[in-house]
Amino acid sequence: MSTSSLSARRKRPSRSVSLASAVASATVLALAPAGAATGLVPASSGSTNEIAGRLTPERPLTRHEVTASDGTLVATLRADNVSSSRIALSLRDDTGALITRDVGTGPLQVSADVPGGDYRLRVRAMDPVDPRGISYTLRTNGEPASNAPTNPPGGPPTNPPTVPPEDPTPEEPTPEEPAPGGSTDNAICGTWVLYQVESVSQLRTLRTKIEDALALPGVVGFSVRFPWDAADMTGTQTTTPLLDEAADIAADSGKALSIRFMAGAHTPQRVFDAGAASYLVNGNPAPLPWSNASGDHQVFLDAYRDYLAKLAAWSKAHDVRLLHLSWYGLDWAELNHGAEVRAAPGYSQSTWLTGHEQLIDVGAQFASKNLTVELPLSGYGPLSGGQSAALADHIAERMGARVDQFAIQANGWDETQEWGSPSAAVENDFDKIWNGPVPTRGLQMIQPDGYDWAKVYDRLATADALYAEVYLPSFWQTPGPSAAYDNNTTARIAQLENEIAAFAKRC
């Protein structure tokens, strides 16, 4: 369902460290856990500065700050008790944007030519931390600009470092048939904070708000929704800046991440240039679930499968347990059975349904006990003729004993309904799906607003929902962005927090 375009410029407090003289060496400031002391490690020109840190099961991420003058900044990490556990060492600018990263069991090193200023070093465990913890030593040093490549004033580094993915060589998953049964129920159960973005800058703008929401008891993680063409991957690409930023936000908060791409009008132009069947809406192409004179439907299926393979590989590398898929759609990822698609040459309800069953077949190839995939059964109708129920039945038939690894979702959730139907009769027809053969269910709020959250969360029992998605603005925005969505209050926000905590107790 739609969400308003909301933004609020993030104000970052100044964290600069003043030095008596402009030394070439880096100065490290440890950002210790809340309540602990932070210490500044003195630096002197030409020296190596060192600080000790520790990762634990309860705190698998630590942050340090560096103030450097123009030149090359180098940070080296050596860890004890690592064995086969991987650690990520990342260097970031003062906004948190990634400059370079190294991943492995150590020693790890990051290096970049930087203009003078404040930088951040983050040390994060990529695997579960042994109860003994992981102790490490972080050393930083710098070379003056006179001994390093010169950057243009105010410009980027002369030789920008290559940023590898957190798993340097994520393996593209091969479709397989995992052992029957078993799913990620415990990993995805609870309330997810949902936000739709089209760029990294949008994520950074509201990063503080996202982190505040993720810190609430009972919130399981961050669900990021994005256009396919805003995070496309082709050829040897294995990640995108948008996905990396979302993963970093979730990891920094110690919470899970789920991802959803939107096809429809957001399908990359390259797919249509390759000959995919399409129809036009406001002059823009959207994919068709069948072939006609406009092109070949198989072209879209192949591109969809290839992209999904990359997303599944990325999910595996970043411990994502819930991968939301997209239908052909139009504006959103939901079903689209609207007038425009029904007017396209070659349409029949049977043809439309078959095309959607083919997307289920693709998604089923990547579902496993470690990765639940999901498709929503709500959308732009008419859908009251049993189309959604038929798709749920196809999921059950295709998955067999693994049916719990393929979730279904209703995206019209509020105080009185789950499907966003135009009438009570249509809503009741949709509700019959909850009595069907697909056991893993989720609900997504219809709008980012304030509600009587007790009534809203009571609806979860109707669907026997395992998880819920609530839009980010519901956690903080008062007043609302418009008169139509100006129902939020601090009391309702507090009620939402209570309902989230109560719902989490069932997980």
With a CB cutoff of 8 Å and minimum separation 6, the contacts of 454 are 495, 499
Residue 414: helix, strand or coil by DSSP? coil
Tokens of 84: 């086969």
Residue 55 pLDDT greater than 90, yes or no: no
Residue 375: helix, strand or coil by DSSP? strand
The residue-averaged pLDDT of 418-444 equals: 95
CA dihedral sign, ordered 405, 411, 414, 417:
negative
Residue with structure tokens 């990993």?
187
Which residues face 376 on adjacent strands?
409
With a CB cutoff of 8 Å and minimum separation 6, the contacts of 292 are 277, 344, 345, 346
Residue 61 pLDDT greater than 80, yes or no: no
pTM over 0.95: no
Q: With bands split at pLDDT 50, 70 and 90, how would you rate the model's confidence at 385?
A: confident
Distance CA 310, CA 323 (A): 12
In this predicted model, which residue has the larger pLDDT, 84 or 399? 399
For the CA atoms of the chain, what is the radius of gyration?
A: 24
User: What single DSSP character describes residue 473?
Assistant: G
Question: What is the DSSP annotation of 485-505?
Answer: G----HHHHHHHHHHHHHHHT
Q: With bands split at pLDDT 50, 70 and 90, how would you rate the model's confidence at 85?
A: confident
With a CB cutoff of 8 Å and minimum separation 6, the contacts of 35 are none
pLDDT, tens digit, 9 for 90 and up, residues 386-398: 999 999 999 999 9
Residue 47 pLDDT greater than 60, yes or no: no
CATH 2.60.120.380 matches 27-147: yes
Q: What's the distance, Cα to Cα, between the start and end of the chain in Å? A: 26
Q: With bands split at pLDDT 50, 70 and 90, how would you rate the model's confidence at 83?
A: low
Residue 156 pLDDT greater than 60, yes or no: no
The full set of domain ranges for the chain reads: 27-147, 185-504
Q: Do domains 27-147 and 185-504 have the same CATH topology?
A: no
So what's the pLDDT on residue 28?
Answer: 39
In this predicted model, which residue has the larger pLDDT, 180 or 357? 357
Mean pLDDT of all residues belonging to the chain: 83
CATH topology of domain 185-504: TIM Barrel (3.20.20)
Task: Tell which residue, 414, 412, 438, has the closest CA to residue 426.
Answer: 412
Distance CA 113, CA 259 (A): 33
Q: Helix 297-317 vs helix 349-364: angle between axes, to the nearest 10 degrees?
A: 30
pLDDT, tens digit, 9 for 90 and up, residues 403-430: 999 999 999 999 999 999 999 999 999 9
- Compute φ and ψ for 287, nearest 5 degrees: -70, 145
In this predicted model, which residue has the larger pLDDT, 166 or 174? 174
Task: Tell which residue, 22, 38, 56, 26, has the closest CA to residue 139.
Answer: 26
- Compute φ and ψ for 323, nearest 5 degrees: -115, 110
pLDDT, tens digit, 9 for 90 and up, residues 230-262: 999 999 999 999 999 999 999 888 899 999 999
Lowest-confidence segment of 64-73, 201-210, 300-309, 395-404 by average pLDDT: 64-73
